[in-house]
Structure formats: C-alpha cells, structure tokens
C-alpha cells in the first residue's frame, strides 16, 4: 500500500498588530532566522514535503524572503477572516492530499517529533482529526481539551467559555491539527462565522467532525516549553531565549565546549567543529563557520560569512592564529 499523501498548511498571513511593526509577523527573527523558517524545517524533518503557506499582509515580503525555496506553494488569504478561512482558501490544494497538517507560522518552537507523533497516531487510528496537546501548570488563556470519563475527545473549550471545573483542566490546545482531507473539506463547508469577530475558526471544523460522530484524537505530545507562539515583543524575546538554549545544547551535544552559556549567543545558521571551546561573552551572528579544536573568546564578535580555520585561536587584540 502506498504511503498517504500529506501536506502542511502553514498559517502565515497575520500582520502581528501587537508587535507594532510594519514587518510581516512571520519574518521577525529568532536567533537570526525568520520564525517561519523553523516551522518549514520542522515539517520537512517530519517528512512533509508538500508545504502550503497562507500569506496576506505584505505577502510580497514573505515570498521574497523565501525566493530560494521553490518547494513552498504560496496561497493568498484576502481578506483575512480567521484560521478556518485561511484553510478555506487552499481547498484546491487540500483536495490533492489524503491528510493535511495545519499549524501556525508564528510558532517556531514546534518540533518535528511532535508533528511525526501526531501524524503517526492519526494514520494508525484512521482518524478524521487528531490534534497535539500540552499539559501546563498554568493553562490560563488557552483553550482546554474536553474529554469524557473514558478519555475520549469531546472538543475544545475556549478559556472565556470554561466552567469553574473546566478551568482546572491543565491539558490545552497549542493549535496543531492533522485532518483527513475529505473530512476537512466537508467540515469547512459547514463552518459559520458565529462569533463577535465574524471570523471562521479552524476549531469549529473539529467540533463539526466530533458532532457528526467522526473519530477524533488528542495526543499529549507538546512539551510545555514548546507551546509559545509570538504575539508581542515580550513573546519574541522569550522565544529567542528558548531557541538560544536549544542551539547551545545542540552544539554542546556535538562536542563543542561552551564555558558560559548565559553570556553566549550563537546564530542558528552557524557551524562549529568538534572540540572547539567557546569562552564567555562570544557573539556569533550569521552563517559563521568555525573549525575544529579552536579557542574563541572571550569577548569576540563574529559576523556574516566569516570562517575560522581548524586549530585557530581568536581573542580581543589578536587575529586568528594557529
């Protein structure tokens, strides 16, 4: 039996009003890369090659930023009438796939492992819809996952609509969904903008499927520290700190010594060879290449396409030397 055809629909049309910026939301950088780049990478690492990005505000800037990536299909959402409407505008693309994974372009902390686990469960269970969830100590502001006594998914209850009992639920919805294509298309035809904003919500598609008796699952697969999306400059700073720590951990796991992680900043695009030592207060911007067995710092700033050869030493007041 052939593998199912799976596409990712990435919602990247938002203006990001609370960021107070003319730059499209998904182009704000996290550790040197647009946040959307991390979402695209996570989808591809999870085995999804058909990527559909929904754009709107300053769409030309977003498309131009990824003009060297021919694997992305760009679909415009205009006007922007909610998450459900964003998926509606790519009905034609959805119809060509067995399943669709829907996620937001402003959540760069999404891991490929999460996407893979949700898809694997979704296909194995032959579900109409499967969503990833997270367990939080403080779930305030998030939609709660409503289950019955047997643990079956009943739906999502928005924070403002929760009863006192539901407010105590710690399992929340980070907005990662996998849908069977035909079921999603059928549900999209039934969504109504019955809310104050007059928008179409993707969560309503899930509710429609559950009401129709179709199989739906919720998989608790998202780590609490991965749940953050970016809706403000404060969120942007928080996600940068989390991503910085991930990047530093990756280099240390690959055999790089980082003396003081708290004072070290390494761009996501940088490469560093094994047994190199990064001393305190080192700042690396851009796709810098550092060889093996180097000593960098303290107080060194490398930028752009700089390259440091194997066995080199870099510190203030001296050039690179072997």
Residue 162 dihedral angles phi and psi, to the nearest 5°: -70, 145
Q: Rounded CA gap, 14 and 73, in Å? A: 17
SS (H, E, C) the chain: CCCCCEEEEEECCCCCHHHCCCCCHHHCEECCEEHHHHHHHHHHHCCCCEEEEEECCCHHHHHHHCCCCCCEEEEECCCCCCHHHHHHCCHHHHCCCCEEEEEECCCCCCCHHHHHHHHHHHHHCCCCEEEEEEECCCCCCCCEEEECCCCCEEEEECHHHCCCCHHHCCEECCCCEEEEHHHHHHHHCCCCCCCCCCCCCHHHHHHHHHHCCCCEEEEEEECHHHCCCCCCHHHHHHHHHHHHHHHHHHHHHCCCEECCHHHCEECCCCEECCCCEECCCEEECCCCEECCCCEECCCEEECCCCEECCCCEEECCEEEEC
Q: Rounded CA gap, 309 and 197, in Å? A: 57
User: Which of the residues are catalytic?
Assistant: 18
Instruction: Evaluate whether 118 touches 131 at the Cβ level (below 8 Å).
Output: yes
Q: Rounded CA gap, 159 and 172, in Å? A: 10
Task: Tell me how crowded residue 213 is: count the other CB atoms within 10 A of its CB.
Answer: 8
């Amino acid at each position: 039996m052939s593998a199912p055809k799976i596409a990712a629909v990435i919602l990247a049309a938002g203006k990001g009003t609370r960021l107070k910026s003319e730059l499209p939301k998904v182009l704000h950088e996290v550790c040197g890369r647009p946040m959307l780049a991390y979402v695209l990478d996570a989808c591809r690492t999870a085995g999804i090659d058909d990527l559909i990005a929904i754009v709107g505000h300053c769409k030309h800037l977003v498309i131009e930023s990824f003009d060297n990536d021919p694997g992305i299909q760009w679909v415009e959402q205009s006007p922007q009438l909610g998450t459900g409407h964003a998926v509606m505008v790519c009905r034609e693309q959805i119809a060509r796939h067995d399943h669709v994974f829907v996620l937001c372009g402003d959540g760069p902390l999404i891991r490929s492992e999460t996407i893979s686990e949700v898809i694997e469960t979704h296909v194995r269970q032959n579900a109409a819809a499967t969503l990833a969830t997270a367990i939080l100590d403080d779930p305030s502001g998030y939609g709660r996952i409503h289950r019955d006594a047997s643990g079956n998914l009943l739906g999502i209850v928005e924070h403002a609509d929760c009863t006192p009992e539901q407010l105590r639920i710690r399992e929340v919805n980070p907005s990662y969904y996998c849908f069977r294509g035909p079921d999603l298309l059928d549900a999209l035809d039934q969504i109504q903008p019955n809310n104050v904003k007059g928008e179409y919500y993707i969560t309503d598609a899930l509710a429609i499927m559950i009401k129709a008796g179709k199989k739906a699952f919720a998989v608790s697969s998202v780590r609490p520290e991965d749940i953050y999306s970016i809706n403000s400059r404060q969120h942007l700073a928080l996600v940068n700190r989390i991503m910085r720590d991930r990047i530093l951990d990756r280099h240390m796991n690959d055999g790089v010594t980082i003396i003081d992680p708290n004072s070290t900043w390494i761009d996501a695009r940088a490469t560093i060879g094994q047994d190199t030592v990064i001393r305190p207060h080192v700042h690396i911007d851009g796709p810098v290449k550092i060889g093996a067995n180097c000593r960098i710092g303290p107080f060194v700033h490398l930028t752009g396409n700089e390259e440091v050869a194997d066995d080199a030493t870099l510190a203030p007041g001296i050039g690179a030397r072997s």
